[in-house]
Amino acid sequence: MSNKSKLFDLWASLYPGDNQQRLEQFLEALISQSLDGESFQADWYKDAVVYSLYVDLFSNDFKSLTEKLDYLKGLGVSCLWLLPILDSPMRDAGFDIRNYDQIRPELLGLEENSSVAEREEVFGKFLAEAHNHGIRVIFDVAINHCSEEHPWFVEAKKSEDNPYRDYFIWSRDKSLYRDARIIFKGMETSNWEPFGDSNFFHRFFNFQPDLNYKNPEVLLAMCRNLLYWQSLGVDGFRADAIPYLWKEEGTDCENLPQTHSVVKFFRAILDYVKPGTLLLAEACQVPETVVKYMGDDDECHAAYHFPLMPMFYKSIALHSSQPVRNILNPSVTPSLPENGQWFTFLRCHDELSLELVYVTEEDRKYIHESYCHEPEWNFRLGEGISARLANLFQFDDRRIGLAYSMMLSLPGTPVIYYGDEFGKENDVDYYKEMIKLVGKDDTRFLVRGKINWDKRELQLADKETFQAKVFSRIQKMLFARNKWKVFGRGSITFLNLGDLSNVHNDSILAYYRKYEHENILVIQNLSDESQEVILPSNMNSSFELINEKKIPSGILRLEPYAYFWLRE
């Protein structure tokens, strides 16, 4: 079925009372842009190493970010995930979008009254330089909600008969959608915010009204926004908060069939113009549910594996391979469609999430007790920990290296959060500054903050500093990973390795990664004690990829938190 046919079928399922004329007119306007049928590397994201950053916090603006492309390329990065860059009052770190077709002018080094052409020129130069470095660029789009300052909502507040009123969800009855959980517990007490003699619906902060996708004009307007950035050369989008797009009374308003239809529509419209534009799902759900957002290769190309992330921490704290092995068991993490991919991560711009959607009460308690070293790191009444990777591991470069070895060698596309490559610590000053700005005690601001490059470059220049040790570990692993397609594309088979007594050692996490002719054995010591394991016979004359050296046959000795990537 052609993408055009898909679009009409999806439209009919979402808006059965619509005569489809508006969709026909919309598509006619796209004919001149369509590149459908041309050759694109559709699954480029499987081989990518993603680096996530805030432009202003990482390097001030796009000009200075362009100057850092050599640094990022040297680290081993091949894709930049730009955290919110669109116009915003910045009350929720940019996820409260005021204009979907504008980048914040300060990020472009321009004045507020700069022209569209000037803005496109600056951003276009950055994209061109990134692509010249072999680095693709994706960015965040919050498609479930916008800022209360968005022109749509400004208009919607004017009167009940305003044309934009129906771009949002209003009700005088606050019991509507009563089964929708409050996502920001501890910061919000209701999903309804009073306005005049009515209320508007929001799943996140009360200054972020949800969009009403039951109105077909909302769907088309969001498509226009995505297509605009696609036309400028953006390689993909992180679709923020997609499980909540469609609301129905009598449901929890999450993961509804119509939500999947909306996502399919976004995918089909992007493919209609330029196949290969990544659509990345941000869905904090169990793997079985998240996989559905990849559909049959007709929804998102990839999704974050949220439940795997806390199991990295549990395995290391417990000195046991079982948490990671259990979460990746096919009974928990289903197989993906052919072009589907997991995105994996250790830390991100949010808290270390421990939502009961995908962890048990026991897991939450254990991880919280093991890693929440300061009471102010507590997030949403125990539902997460707001702390940087370095703080969580108490500035132990061995455990940080081990955690990265696990993430970089297990199936999926890895995401590095800016500054973690050199052990950036919590930023208390930034946290206090943002509390004053947004009026909310949001401890996630601890894990953000600016990079002082003069300070960091001095630290990285001294090989004995904690920062230089962390950087060296991660850079070496990325250098090794980027030589082999197996890590992003290959199968995984877990092994039970033992010592001379032939007793299985649960503190050893070992697995084969295989893809075509590539066969890699990864062995990792999750404990704080030295371990010895007998190597499989096919690895008796092996080569260690990270440090590029031969490994003696027979018995392999692993120091505490050590890791080896071996090939025959």
Catalytic residue positions, numbered: 240, 282
Confirm if 515 and 486 have CB atoms less than 8 A apart: yes
* Phi–psi pair at 535, nearest 5 degrees: -75, 145
How many CA within 13 A on the CB side of residue 167? 26
Using only C-alpha atoms, the chain has a radius of gyration, in whole angstroms, of 24
Q: What is the dihedral of CA 408, 413, 414, 418, to 10 degrees?
A: 150
Distance CA(281)–CA(141), nearest Å, equals 11
Confirm if 417 and 400 have CB atoms less than 8 A apart: no
Q: Which amino acid is at 45?
A: Y
Confirm if 451 and 424 have CB atoms less than 8 A apart: yes
Q: Which amino acid is at 139?
A: F
| Euclidean distance between the first and the last CA atom of the chain, given in angstroms as a whole number | 45
Note the helical H segments in 346-415: 361-371, 389-392, 397-409
Could you tell me what percentage of the chain is helix, strand and coil, using 3-state DSSP and rounding each to the nearest 5? Answer: 40, 20, 45
Confirm if 460 and 471 have CB atoms less than 8 A apart: yes
Distance CA(366)–CA(368), nearest Å, equals 5
> Cα–Cα–Cα angle for 513, 514, 517, nearest 5°?
140
Closest CA to 425 of 406, 398, 452: 452
Strands 542-544 and 563-567: antiparallel
